[in-house]
Amino acid sequence: MKQSAISPELVKSIPLFSGLTEQERDGLLKEGRIRSWRRGQLLFRCGDAVACFYLVTAGVVQLYRENPHGKQKTLDVLEPGQTLCADEIMDACRTHRANALAMEDTVAMEFTQAWLKDAARRHGAFALNLLSLIAQRARLAELEAEHQASMSAAQLVACFLQRLCVLHELDPRGFTLPYSKTLIASRLGMELETFSRALAKLKEQGITVAGTHVIIDDLTRIERYTCGSCSVSDACATHGALEKRTQDKQARA
C-alpha cells in the first residue's frame, strides 16, 4: 500500500497510537479501510447496529440526535484526527445512539469492532490510550451536563465562545465564527432565539458579537476551563463574572 489516505503528521498527532512502535502502529492502521462520504451523507444513523470504529482523516462530521419531538441536538463536531464509536463499541449497547453526518466531503478510515478490541487486548499501551480517550470524553460530557444545569444561557454562550477561541487558536481580539449560529445553538442545547438573545446580553460582559464577527475583551482565566476543575465557577471565568452581575442586579432591585 504505497499511498496512504492519512498524512504521517496526522498519524503522529493521534494520541491513540502514542507509545506504540511505528511497526505496531502501521500494522494496525493498514487493517483499516478507507471510505469517503459526500457532504450531506450519513456515516451511520441513530438506531443502526454498531459496525465500525472510525478515524476521521479529512472533512467534518456532525454527531447529533433527535428527540421525540423531532428536535435536533448536536452532540459533537469532529475534525480530522478524531475518532468515532470507541465508546459505543466498548459499551455493551449494540446500536448507535446518534446520527453521524458528513458536514463536508469527508474521508475516514474504518475498522472492525474486533480490530478495536484486539488492539486493546494485545497492546497494553493502546488499551491505556483508549481508556484515556473514553474517560476524557466522559469527563467533558459530565462537565457539560453540569454547566447546562447550573448556568444561564448567556453564561453557556460565553463559555462556549471562550473555549472556541482557545481550542481553535483564534485571536480573541477579533475572529469569525467557524459554525453557523443555528449549529452552535443546537450544540449548546438551546433554541436559536435564546442564543440570539444571549449574544445581546454578552455585549455588556465584554464579548461583542456582530454578525459572525466576535471580539472577546478578557480571556485571562480561560485555561482553567479547558483543563476542567472541581468547581464550575472556577472552571469558567465568564460564569463567575455573570454570576456576580446577576446578584448585583438582584441586590439593586
Binding residue for DNA (CB under 7 A) from 4, 18, 113, 152?
Answer: 152
Helices and strands in the chain, H and E counts: 11, 11
Q: Does residue 222 belong to the site contacting its own copies (CB under 8 A)?
A: no
- Alpha helices by DSSP H, the chain: 8-12, 22-29, 86-90, 113-122, 124-150, 153-167, 181-187, 192-202, 222-227, 232-235, 237-252
3-state class of 216 per DSSP?
strand
Q: 115 or 179: whose CB is closer to DNA?
A: 179
Q: Does residue 127 belong to the site contacting DNA (CB under 7 A)?
A: no
Q: Does residue 136 belong to the site contacting DNA (CB under 7 A)?
A: no
Angle at the Cα of 235 from the Cα atoms of 233 and 236, rounded to 5 degrees? 70
Residue 145: CA count within 13 A, CB half-sphere: 6
Binding residue for its own copies (CB under 8 A) from 24, 87, 104, 110?
Answer: 87
Beta carbon of residue 175, minimum distance to its own copies (angstroms, whole number): 27
Binding residue for its own copies (CB under 8 A) from 42, 77, 127, 241?
Answer: 127
Stretch that binds DNA, among 90-98, 101-109, 152-160, 221-229 (CB under 7 A): 152-160
Binding residue for its own copies (CB under 8 A) from 105, 110, 144, 218?
Answer: 144
The binder of 47, among DNA, its own copies, none, by C-beta within 5 to 8 A per type, is its own copies
Residue 155 cell numbers, joined: 453564561
3-state class of 111 per DSSP?
strand
In Å, how far are 25, 49, 232, 237, 241 from 219, measured between CA atoms? 39, 43, 17, 8, 12
Beta carbon of residue 123, minimum distance to its own copies (angstroms, whole number): 9
Q: 212 or 247: whose CB is closer to its own copies?
A: 247
* Side chain identity at residue 49, one-letter code: A
Short-list 177, 160, 55, CA closest to 112: 55
The binder of 21, among its own copies, DNA, none, by C-beta within 5 to 8 A per type, is none
> Where on the chain is the footprint of DNA (CB under 7 A)?
69, 71, 152-154, 180-182, 189-200, 209, 211-212, 246, 250, 253
Residues lying near its own copies in the complex (CB under 8 A)? 46-47, 65, 67-68, 71, 73, 86-93, 95-97, 117, 120-122, 124-125, 127-128, 130-132, 134-139, 141-142, 144-146, 148-150, 189, 227-233, 239-240, 243
